[in-house]
Amino acid sequence: MSLLITFLMIVVVMTAILTINSYLILLERKTAAWIQDRVGPNRVGFDLGLPFLKRLTGGFHFWGLGQPIADGLKFLFKEQVVPQHVDKVLYFLAPCVAVITALLAFAVVPFGPTPTPQNPDAFPFVIAPNIDIGIVFVFAVSSLAVYAIILGGWASNNKYSMIGALRSSAQIISYEIPLGLSILVVAMLTGSLNLERIIARQATEGFLGWNIWFQPLAWLLFFTAALAETNRLPFDLPECEQELVGGFHTEYSAIKFVMFFLGEYTHMITVSFLTAILFFGGWHFPFIAEPTSSYPGATAVKILVLVFKAGFFIFLIMVLRWSLPRFRYDQLMRLAWVVLIPLGLLNVIVAMIVLHWGLSRWWLLPISLVLFVGAGLIGTVVSTPDKRMIGHARQA
Amino acid sequence: MLSPLLASWLTSLRDVGLVLLPLAVGMTALWLLLPQARPRQVLISAFIAGTAALLVGGLVLLRGTGPDVPLLFDVLFWVFALLAVASGVAMIVQRNPVYSALWFAQVVLSTCGLFLLQAAWFLAAATVIVYAGAIVVTFLFVIMLAQQTGLAPYDRQAREPLLACIAGFALLAALQYAVSTAGKTSPDTVQVFAQPRQLPKVQQVLEEVRSRVKAGESPDDTGKLLYLQAAQPESFVGNILFQLAETLPPKERKQERDVCEAANAKISRARLTENAEMMVEGLDQLLALSQRLELRFGKSPLSRLREPHVASLGQSLYGDYLWAVEIAGTLLLVATVGAIVIALRRQEEAA
């Protein structure tokens, strides 16, 4: 019975993620258009431009909502181009790894209400409920995602792909450390790695119990590192167009190319859900979605709250893409090793001190801000090799 | 008529042969598969490897399976185990080092599947992160950067295929023999670790001794029965219960260990002083403890998967083994600093 429920849940969640992914691409294009003062895709309706369907829909364009379907069909029916010089097995394996790891990571992420101490028998809206290692599982699976990029880059047998893959693996391995450090603090505050418990603690303590109040710095570290892990701008060096043509996916076309993007967008969804769950109370929202609220449709409201929170972060990631320029590679690595990791370590030590001596958790808020401002000030004073280079250039 | 000694020798010879035969067949297949100067006979060696797998399967069927587990568990175990062994073979017979590294990642992942079946979630996740996620990726990194065109001679041909196969065979055979004999001597033997499945036997012994003491037999004489195996201190039923209590989550562990220690002390004192009343008291405490433990461990392996264990793991690492963990951590830190210093010096020399 529980096997059947799990199976159904997997089918529903996977279908939902794949559908949402295709519409996220539309949202991304629309966002880009708004920011660049264009209209964006608004022509393709559900007739997909096919004459015999046009008669059914009367030619109405539905504000471009048919675009993702048309795009998907186009990618499916495109010619499969496999370059002569590639390593065939790994060339096809790489996009599969991208999709598999991205989807697998979602297995322990709750997407709706989960049990709390008030009602421990609530139905858990998560594919694999009650996994004690919770967030570590997400880590473990997404640490495998680097294979997709490194294999794609190597199997392509192309220098641009290779450079993209090498950049990426160094980037992903480096940014895993601040990511882990930021989550460590949340786990320490909750006393568990289990995502359902992390939500339950925040929901029970109400709006002022959300982790963001105690750990704004950890949130910033998490979000920055997660952006780098998903290869999104401003950290999308593996596929940096101006230097590397398309980076690790230069040699990929049609459905294989789409699979890499499915992986990236699924990662984006997972990261947004994790941000909402770890720092913003999960499905909890004051008054309308409390652990005690039991009005008809409360479950649906809770799911919607979590989805809206996650949706907000997805939108934020998209807006960031068009607001921040890309980092240079050395800047990217320095950000991880010189800024994020020491900040994360200090943050963990502070949290340890506060928890060990049983101080009020509210101490963490000012200390976080002080650490952040301090790091910024140090950044303006300390001369980096980068600035020294500019200085030399000026003198010359 | 065979003398009993000869008969027992023959039996043990048969047992050893049964264990070693699949290994020997597997070794032959591996030797044929290793990259050598002559062309590889893939079909023949695959057939021999298949025979080895069938032999192992037959041996397992002959032995009978262990405690009752759901069919899904058995199936998953075989899938992961076969995948691990096959990927291990594929890893060493590959000529292309990139593929070898990938097969190594596959070995790690399959082994993590086996860890999961043993309810060791954290170990599985940590192994994936450290090995598959970081170390193998670094291997790939180096291989891809170092290897520009074609395959190096050491990749094209194995250096000492026969010697390597025989060495591996000897190691595996010794291990296999030790494991197979340890599990077989007698159902009552206490293995290296106490097992929950010994609990019924433990209870049976406790009850028997209790009824004998109540019937008026000397506590010291009947106390000797409390050893599942003669004169083995670790086979004292109190010790078995104590070891089982050690595996409980921290809160219960402390309490049950204390209960067990008190009862054990009581029993030894009762045996010394021939105090039947005290003996029965201690036996009752142990009986109650073993029943509680049976309730805890009697669950199916599936339900054991659900128990929170990260907290107990942390307690153990940062409580029981704090010094070991700290010293290991410091050593690693020193090694890292040393590596960086050496790397920087080389760069300076190059410049």
Q: Which of A108, A126, A132 to mutate to test the interface with B (most CBs of B within 10 A)?
A: A132
Last residue of a domain, one of B140, B158, B182: B182
B269 and B312 both lie in a single domain: no
Which domain CATH number covers B130?
1.20.120.1200
Residue B70 belongs to some domain of the structure: yes
Closest CA to A195 of A128, A141, A123: A128
For residue B329, the model assigns a pLDDT of 94
B15 and B121 both lie in a single domain: yes
Task: Find the residue in A nearest to B96 (Cα).
Answer: A87
Task: Find the residue in A nearest to B125 (Cα).
Answer: A140
B201 and B326 both lie in a single domain: no
Q: Which member of B98, B122, B124 has the closest CB to residue A154?
A: B98
For residue A330, the model assigns a pLDDT of 78
B129 and B164 both lie in a single domain: yes
Q: Helices A146-155 and A159-190 sit at what angle, rounded to 10 degrees?
A: 170
**Interval B75-98: pLDDT, tens:** 888 899 889 988 998 888 888 888
For residue B190, the model assigns a pLDDT of 41
B343 and B267 both lie in a single domain: no
Question: Chain A closest CA to B198's CA: distance in Å?
Answer: 28
Residue B188 belongs to some domain of the structure: no
B23 and B171 both lie in a single domain: yes
Q: Within chain B, which residues score under 50 in pLDDT?
A: 185-192, 302
Residue B190 belongs to some domain of the structure: no
Number of structural domains in chain B:
3
- State whether the Cα torsion B30-B32-B37-B39 is positive or negative: negative
Residue B73 belongs to some domain of the structure: yes
**Interval B134-144: pLDDT, tens:** 888 888 888 87
Residue B189 belongs to some domain of the structure: no
B54 and B149 both lie in a single domain: yes
A164 is written with which tokens? 């993209």
Residue B317 belongs to some domain of the structure: yes
Residue B204 belongs to some domain of the structure: yes
Residue B111 belongs to some domain of the structure: yes
B235 vs B51: CA distance, rounded Å: 40
> Could you say which residues from 77 to 96 on chain A have a Cβ atom under 8 Å away from some Cβ of chain B?
90
B53 and B85 both lie in a single domain: yes
Q: Under 8 Å CB-to-CB from A151, ≥6 apart: which residues?
A: A90, A93, A94, A97, A165, B102
Note down the domain range covering B232.
Answer: 196-299
B238 and B173 both lie in a single domain: no
- Give A287-296's long-range contacts (Cβ < 8 A, gap of 24+): A289/A113, A290/A203, A290/A206, A291/A116, A291/A117, A291/A118, A291/A119, A291/A200, A291/A203, A291/A204, A292/A118
State the DSSP H helix or E strand holding residue B54, giving kind and residue range, or none if neither. Answer: helix B42-63
B152 and B276 both lie in a single domain: no
Closest CA to A133 of A103, A107, A113: A107
> Could you say which residues from 272 to 311 on chain B have a Cβ atom under 8 Å away from some Cβ of chain A?
306-311
* ipTM of the complex model: 0.82
B153 and B51 both lie in a single domain: yes
Chain B residues within 8 A of A170 when measuring between CB atoms: 141
Q: By the CB < 8 Å criterion, does A144 face chain B?
A: yes
B11 and B143 both lie in a single domain: yes
pLDDT tens for chain A, 396 residues: list them: 678 888 888 899 889 988 888 888 888 888 888 888 888 888 777 777 677 777 776 667 777 787 888 888 888 888 888 888 888 888 889 899 989 998 988 888 888 887 777 777 777 788 877 778 888 898 888 888 888 888 888 888 888 888 888 888 788 888 888 998 999 898 888 888 888 888 888 888 888 888 888 888 899 999 999 888 887 777 776 666 666 767 777 788 888 888 888 888 898 899 999 999 999 888 888 888 777 777 778 888 888 888 999 999 999 988 888 888 887 777 788 888 888 898 999 999 999 898 888 888 888 888 888 888 888 888 777 756 655 555 555 555
